[in-house]
Amino acid sequence: MSDVVKSQRELLLVINLVDQGQDKWRWLYQWLDANAEAYTLATLTQFYNRISVLKGPAATCQVFIQELTVMASQPHVKALDVFLHLHGGKRKLWFEDGVIGTDTLRDQIKVKSLGHRLRLLYSVACYGETHAQDFVDAGFRTASGARGVNANSTHDYPTQLALWSSGSYYKTAVQQGNNPPLRLMHDNAARLAGFPDADSEKFIRGKMYTHHI
C-alpha cells in the first residue's frame, strides 16, 4: 500500500468489553472502555481524516460490517484501520449481539471486496493471534493479536499508538508493546486473578512493515 495523506486515512474503533464481560470485572471493563475511546481520540485524531466509534449497543457485528463497508467504499479513502476492543476466544469474538467465529467474519468482510482499502487490524481481544490470519484473509494488509488472555493493554495500547502515530513500522510498535518484563508482570497478575491462560504477547500476520503515513 503506497503512502497516504491524512485526508485519505480513516479509523474504525469498536469498543464493548462491559456488556459481554463477567459482572465481577465490570468496573475494570468500564474503565478500559472509557479510556480506549478517550485515549485513541486524543492520540490519533490529528492523524486521521475521521475516526468512527462503535460502542455499547452500537457495537454489533452487523453494524460493524456496515460501517466498515461504508467507510472503505468512500472514494477518498485509501487506508482504513480498525481497532477492536472486544472479548475474544479462540477464533471467535463477542460483539453486542453475541459471539461470531472469525472465519465467518472473514467471509462476511471478504465478499465486500474491500481489500485494497483495508490496512491495519489491531485487536486487544484475548486470543487475538487466532483471529489475525482470518482478518488478513479477509483483506487486511496487517493484523495482530495476543497469544492468550490479553492482560497488558495498559502498556501495550498506548505504546503501540504512540509508535504508530509517529510513523514507525508496525513491527516496531508491536515489539515495543510486548516489553517482556512488563508483559510478564501483567500476565502473572492476571493468572493470580483467575486467568490461567494469560499470555499477552502479540503476534503479527500479514505485512510487518506497514506504517500509517
The DSSP code for 98 is E
The pLDDT, as a whole number, for residue 213 is 66
Q: Which CATH number is 187's domain given?
A: 3.40.50.1460
Expressed as residue numbers, the domain containing 26 is 6-206
Q: For residue 149, list its beta bridge partners.
A: 198
Closest CA to 124 of 165, 162, 82, 168: 82
pLDDT tens-digit readout, 105-135:
999 999 999 989 999 999 999 999 999 999 9
Q: For residue 139, list its beta bridge partners.
A: none
Asked if the structure places residue 211 within a domain, the reply is: no
Asked if the structure places residue 212 within a domain, the reply is: no
Band of pLDDT at residue 138, cut at 50, 70 and 90: very high
Asked if 63 contacts 54 with a C-beta cutoff of 8 angstroms, the reply is yes
Tell me how many domains the chain contains. 1
- Reported as type and span, the H/E element at residue 95 is strand 92-95
Tell me the C-alpha distance between 115 and 104, whole Å.
16
Asked if the structure places residue 115 within a domain, the reply is: yes
pLDDT tens-digit readout, 26-54:
999 999 999 999 999 999 999 999 999 99
Asked if the structure places residue 151 within a domain, the reply is: yes
Asked if the structure places residue 58 within a domain, the reply is: yes
Neighbours of 19 (CB within 10 A): 17
Band of pLDDT at residue 174, cut at 50, 70 and 90: very high
What residue has cell string 503479527? Answer: 204
**Residue 1 confidence (pLDDT) above 60:** no
Closest CA to 59 of 80, 35, 39, 37: 37
For residues 163-184, give the mean pLDDT.
97
Question: Residue 62: CB partners within 8 Å, gap ≥ 6?
Answer: 97
DSSP reduced 3-state for 132: helix
Q: For residue 118, list its beta bridge partners.
A: 80
Asked if the structure places residue 168 within a domain, the reply is: yes
Tell me the C-alpha distance between 78 and 2, whole Å.
9
For residues 189-207, give the mean pLDDT.
98
Q: What rounded mean pLDDT belongs to the chain?
A: 96
DSSP reduced 3-state for 206: strand
Q: Is 10 left (phi over 0), alpha (psi -120 to 50) or beta?
A: beta
Q: For residue 143, list its beta bridge partners.
A: 121, 205
Asked if the structure places residue 1 within a domain, the reply is: no
